[in-house]
Amino acid sequence: MSADHLPEHPDFLWRNPEPKSSYDAVIVGGGGHGLATAYFLAKNHGMTNIAVLEKGWLAGGNMARNTTIIRSNYLWDESAAIYEHALKLWEILPEELEYDFLFSQRGVMNLAHTLGDVRESVRRVGANKLNGVDAEWLDPQQVKELCPILNISDNIRYPVMGATYQPRAGIAKHDHVAWAFARKCDELGVDIIQNCEVTGFLKDGNRVVGVQTNQGTIHTEKVGLAAAGHSSVLAEMAGFRLPIQSHPLQALVSELHEPVHPTVVMSNHVHVYVSQAHKGELVMGAGVDSYNGYGQRGSFHVIEHQMAAGVELFPIFARAHVLRTWGGIVDTTMDASPIIGTTPVENMFVNCGWGTGGFKGTPAAGLTFAHTIATGTPHELNKPFSLERFETGALIDEHGAAAVAH
């Protein structure tokens, strides 16, 4: 592997229009999910008189803070279906969006460190295969062959007892993904409005008819919420509750290094996941902080814990330096699965609760959420991920496969 050259930056990405007084639909949140939703609304449903409202700058929330991992090796049928659909979209999107966002299918390994891990992982590989998701079980020696810098000694606190491996999984350059969607949205006529914070909703009875923003009132027939980290706040404004808790999730990067890490390694058990980005920096993610928080920063001991695990697994990293640490706010649900669907407010739709796994789901979130907004009913893929499941009990428990514990 050699450090990739970043593609030429396009001359033009998007306009910065003033908001119109009304749109057919308004998407709240100009991150990956909001932009993907707008793109599919325009492309698949011909809805081009729409706006994406972003309270800060485009893709400056979790889209700027994630560790860019893309995989679909989830346990349950419902999750495998939506994440695998996302992965298939990732595979065709660079061409479709005419923008090379460096989707690199270098594989993702999920390490097993205990007998419980091993059983759960082998079961997941079986489940994945039944769902058409590429998955393999690797013994420690095979792990070492794929990723020579991993320490597979059995004399460490949590020895590597094997790993699941998804060859088609990988990473992409997150900001380029956002720009790719944004450019196409703009081309299709979507208004992307930055620095536009939603401060309230206009309702006619139980039907949403507009949004109030710091740039004035915007009338609209439909509202889609795609504001990870702030879903509960928006829902409260609109007058309903979400079964979500928001937690800080931290990550960090090292300085640039020669290519040493050929794949992506994740460990639920010791709470660390590592890849080497295209420029050469090591990108690492930690577990969530236990407490609720909106501060986009977490506690240092979480980083310390992650680094200890990282260095034990990758002794070669001991002399690397931390360049930067940061936190994003993840909206977690009790079953570690997202919510994409209708809400108690008529014509208002919500896409939230992706926890630590929002980035990989971006294209499928956009596709299914656009379908839900355009038609008023969920797509086959997001039907199981309704808000009602918390009442019916049809939960989709993905705590085992959803990256790190939350």
Partner 1 sequence: MLLISCPNCGPRDETEFHYGGQAHVAYPENPDALTDRQWAEYLFYRDNTKGAFAERWVHSTGCRQWFNMLRDTVSYDIQAIYKMGEPRPDANTTAATTSEGATK
Amino acid identity, position 341: G
Give the CA radius of gyration of the chain.
21
Contact between 122 and partner 1 by CB under 8 A: the answer reads no
Binding flags for partner 1, 310-339, as an x/- string (CB under 8 A): -----------------------xx-----
88 versus 305: smaller Cβ distance to partner 1: 305
Backbone phi, psi, residue 172, to 5°: -140, 165
205 versus 393: smaller Cβ distance to partner 1: 393
Taking the complex as a whole, how short is the minimal distance between the CB of residue 235 and partner 1, in angstroms? 9
301 versus 319: smaller Cβ distance to partner 1: 301
With a CB cutoff of 8 Å and minimum separation 6, the contacts of 353 are 231, 242, 243, 244, 331, 332, 333, 337, 338, 339
Binding residue for partner 1 (CB under 8 A) from 204, 214, 291, 318? 291
The size of the chain, in residues, is: 406
184 versus 247: smaller Cβ distance to partner 1: 247
Contact between 299 and partner 1 by CB under 8 A: the answer reads yes
How many other C-beta atoms lie within 10 A of the C-beta of residue 106?
Answer: 18
Contact between 372 and partner 1 by CB under 8 A: the answer reads no
Can you tell me which residue has the tokens 């660079």?
Answer: 94
Binding residue for partner 1 (CB under 8 A) from 102, 225, 238, 244? 244
Contact between 290 and partner 1 by CB under 8 A: the answer reads yes
Structure-block tokens of residue 198: 């939603």
d(CA 230, CA 240): 14
Residue 61 DSSP code: S
Question: Which residue, among 90, 256, 76, has the nearest Cα to 174 in the 3D structure?
Answer: 90
Binding residue for partner 1 (CB under 8 A) from 157, 301, 319, 321? 301
Binding residue for partner 1 (CB under 8 A) from 36, 161, 185, 242? 242
Number of residues engaging partner 1 in binding (CB under 8 A):
23
Taking the complex as a whole, how short is the minimal distance between the CB of residue 156 and partner 1, in angstroms? 22
Asked if residues 244 and 149 have their Cβ atoms less than 8 Å apart, the reply is: no
Contact between 294 and partner 1 by CB under 8 A: the answer reads yes
Can you tell me which residue has the tokens 């986009």?
Answer: 296
Amino acid identity, position 135: A
Question: Which positions lie near partner 1, rule CB under 8 A?
Answer: 230, 232-233, 241-246, 290-295, 299-301, 333-334, 390-392
